[in-house]
């Protein structure tokens, strides 16, 4: 290990590839700018998926300098890599117009990772945030990322306006001869000391972010927020040009009470403290003028190009070195985000014990110890891998394979009434539980927790309510490796692959007693008010998993051809299903709507062996019928708690 470090240090000094701590080379002044020809325009260039570890062009929202190298996995910058002739000032061409261009995008984000992507936080800023070192140009964004609460009980909407001026373009880049020799003789040492990409273009302009955050379990309030988010997506669109009718969006926002607003801006005039939708668009229009040309503009982002794209660079495939380091850092970062979400959920459960079961409340101590240990271990792995690609060990992440975080559901109310045991196998089909006559004052509740076991070799078991819920996990990276990417890089093109899985749940079906035709089929998400004069049937559903590619904040289904190519076999994620308590089977309960729910659920196996009701003197919210589902009404609860 010592010899390796000494060799790296010798190479570091010998080839003059200075690290960022040293003073950077001065950037050429504007008197070296020359007019850019149409042939040099960026119009002819293509942008592949930005999540790919091997893009042809990569955008980085950092203030970086020409002539420098960059590690696309860690965000480290290296000075003194190039001897170059100069730069040109070109014109961005978009929709037939030159100069300042812009757009508004609307992203609904539910995880820390999604907010990071929507804020365009660079690899360096992300890893700085992970390790607690906030020295990046993205520090304000990282502050927002750090201070934004993410748990199973939060929701966020990010509206982003971005305006871009003409780029500065590096022409005829020439890597120093000694470094060319280093790349030929030791590609890994070259990446450690010079990175795998270089600054090829610099864009000035400005960006404006408005983050709307909702933290509430008030059911009606949450519905209003949900409508506001959806309406914003529908009426704002993605273009800033033209008239935008925001009256409906404004109306929906004003009807909500649980939305906090955070403003971030780079460039332009003073940032306002608070913006509603209408004032946001007004400010965005003025902001466009403020950051046009050289007026109040900042370096918005730079474009990085791979060294392999430089004429005369050795024919080297960096893709394998890139993808191992990138995969370890991204997988570890994904796990760390899961750990931080679990800690947020633990805090929420402890602050609101009345909403959760006794087992959830007790489980917090166990989950907190696990999360703390995992957090420190993952941070150490990320730090080591960031410093040296040779310290990136994918196998080390296998110890986290079974970790799914801590995501308890708010406990559903339960009633005493007419009870029908339900099947715990999907091949048993529909079970008739009740034939509703003329009595329409009824409640249908599915009660009793299911014990479910994973569909792999793990022995980990989960006890949960039988409600409909979908989740995802990062499972691999797919090497497209087609002719196009081979031609560009001589190597691989990797995209992240997620597996989407559904927890076992029950479907409820209403069948006409007169015609025997199906009136409605719905997924069970909580106690229901049945339709009048129908037969009620229930069945267990356990869907197969499916694979998804992640494109930005969106997930796209993997094509059947690729699934067949990689040999993926879809199957239910959980293969073993049974009642958590054999004496308390999962059952459908029909009760009169005037009957009050139990004060506490019957205790699952994790907490007691006597199957007795546990009384914690819980002051639960009132149960009301809201949109056809019986739910706790938090409108008064949150005022008093």
Rounded-to-integer distance, Cα 585 and Cα 583, Å: 6
**Left (φ > 0), alpha (ψ -120 to 50) or beta: where does 515 sit?**
alpha
pTM of the model: 0.53
Angle, helices 187-194 vs 177-185, to 10°: value is 130
The pLDDT of residue 631 is 62
pLDDT at 21: 38
Q: What's the pLDDT tens digit per position in 304-326?
A: 888 887 877 887 767 666 667 77
Nearest one of 466, 455, 450 to 577, comparing CA atoms: 450
Q: Which of 77-91, 183-197, 214-228, 428-442 has the weakest average pLDDT? A: 214-228
Confidence band, pLDDT 50/70/90 cuts, at residue 600: low
582-613 in b/e form (b: 16+ CB < 10 A) is eebbbbbbbbeeeeebeebbbbbbbeeeeeee
What is the predicted pLDDT for the residue at 5?
41
What is the reported pLDDT for 504?
92
% of the chain at pLDDT higher than 70:
57
Per-residue pLDDT at 260: 65
Q: Is pLDDT larger for residue 249 or for residue 197?
A: 197
Cα-Cα-Cα-Cα dihedral of 269, 271, 272, 277, to 10°? 90
User: Poorest-confidence range of 93-97, 370-374, 598-602, 626-630?
Assistant: 93-97
**92: helix, coil or strand?**
coil
CA distance 214 to 226: 9
Per-residue pLDDT tens over the stretch 98-151: 345 666 677 777 777 777 777 766 555 555 544 444 444 556 676 677 667 666
Residues sharing a CB contact under 8 Å with residue 368, sequence separation 6 or more, in sequence order: 343, 346
Confidence of residue 544 (pLDDT cuts 50, 70, 90): very high
pLDDT (0 to 100) of residue 16: 40
pLDDT for 280? 63
Q: 219-236 vs 247-254: helix axis angle to the nearest 10? A: 160
Torsion (CA) 544, 549, 550, 556 in degrees, nearest 10:
-80
Q: Tokens for 534? A: 């129908």
For residue 279, the model assigns a pLDDT of 65
Residues 6+ apart with CB under 8 A from 488: 56, 308, 309
């Amino acid at each position: 290990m010592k010899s390796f470090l000494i060799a790296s240090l010798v190479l570091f000094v010998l080839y003059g590839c200075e690290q960022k701590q040293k003073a950077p080379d001065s950037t050429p002044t504007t008197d070296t700018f020359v007019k850019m020809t149409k042939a040099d325009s960026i119009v002819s260039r293509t942008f592949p998926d930005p999540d790919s570890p091997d893009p042809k062009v990569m955008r980085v929202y950092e203030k970086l300098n020409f002539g420098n190298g960059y590690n696309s996995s860690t965000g480290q910058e290296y000075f003194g890599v190039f001897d170059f002739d100069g730069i040109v000032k070109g014109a961005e061409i978009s929709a037939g117009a030159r100069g300042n261009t812009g757009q508004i995008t609307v992203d609904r984000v539910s995880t820390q990772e999604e907010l990071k992507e929507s804020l365009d936080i660079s690899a360096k800023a992300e890893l700085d945030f992970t390790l607690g070192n906030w020295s990046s140009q993205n520090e304000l964004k990282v502050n927002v990322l750090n201070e934004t609460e993410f748990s199973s009980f939060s929701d966020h909407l990010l509206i982003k306006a971005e305006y871009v001026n003409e780029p500065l373009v590096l022409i005829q880049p020439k890597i120093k001869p000694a470094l060319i020799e280093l790349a030929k003789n030791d590609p890994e040492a070259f990446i450690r000391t010079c990175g795998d990409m270089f600054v090829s273009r610099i864009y000035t302009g400005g960006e404006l972010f408005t983050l709307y955050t909702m933290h509430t379990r008030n059911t009606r309030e949450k519905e209003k927020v949900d409508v506001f988010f959806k309406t914003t997506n529908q009426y704002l669109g993605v273009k800033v040009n033209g008239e935008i009718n925001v009256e409906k969006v404004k109306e929906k926002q004003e009807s909500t009470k649980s939305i906090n607003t955070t403003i971030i801006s780079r460039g332009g005039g003073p940032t306002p403290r608070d913006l509603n939708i209408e004032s946001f668009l007004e400010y965005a229009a003025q902001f466009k003028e403020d950051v046009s040309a050289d007026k109040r503009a900042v370096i918005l982002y730079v474009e990085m190009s791979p060294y392999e794209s430089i004429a005369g660079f050795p024919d080297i495939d960096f893709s394998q070195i890139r993808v191992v380091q990138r995969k370890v850092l991204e997988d570890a970062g994904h796990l760390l985000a899961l750990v931080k979400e679990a800690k947020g959920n633990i805090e929420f459960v402890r602050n609101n014990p009345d909403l959760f079961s006794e087992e959830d409340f007790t489980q917090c101590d166990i989950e907190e110890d696990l999360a703390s240990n995992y957090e420190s271990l993952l941070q150490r792995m990320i730090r080591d891998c960031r410093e040296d690609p040779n310290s990136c060990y994918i196998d080390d992440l296998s110890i986290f394979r079974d970790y799914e975080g801590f995501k308890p559901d708010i406990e559903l109310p339960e009633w005493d009434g007419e009870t029908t045991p339900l099947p715990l196998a999907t091949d048993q089909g529909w079970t008739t539980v009740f034939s509703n006559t003329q009595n329409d004052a009824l409640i249908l509740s599915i009660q009793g927790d299911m014990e479910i076991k994973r569909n792999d070799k793990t022995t980990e078991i989960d006890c949960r309510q039988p409600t409909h819920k979908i989740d995802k996990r990062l499972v691999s990276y797919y090497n497209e490796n087609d002719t196009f990417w081979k031609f560009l890089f001589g190597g691989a093109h990797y995209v992240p692959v997620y597996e989407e899985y559904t927890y076992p749940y029950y479907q409820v079906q209403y069948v006409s007693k007169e015609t025997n035709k199906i009136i409605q089929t719905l997924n069970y998400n909580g106690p229901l008010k049945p339709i009048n004069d129908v037969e009620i049937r229930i069945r267990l559903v356990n869907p197969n998993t499916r694979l998804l590619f992640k494109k930005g904040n969106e997930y796209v289904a993997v094509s059947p051809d690729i699934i067949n190519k990689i040999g993926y076999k879809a199957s239910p994620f959980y293969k073993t299903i049974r009642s958590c308590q054999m004496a308390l089977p999962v059952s459908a309960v029909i009760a009169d709507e005037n009957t009050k729910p139990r004060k506490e659920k019957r205790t699952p196996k994790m907490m007691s062996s006597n199957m007795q009701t546990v009384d914690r003197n819980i002051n639960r919210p009132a149960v009301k019928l809201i949109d056809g589902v019986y739910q706790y009404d938090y409108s008064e609860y949150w005022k008093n708690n």
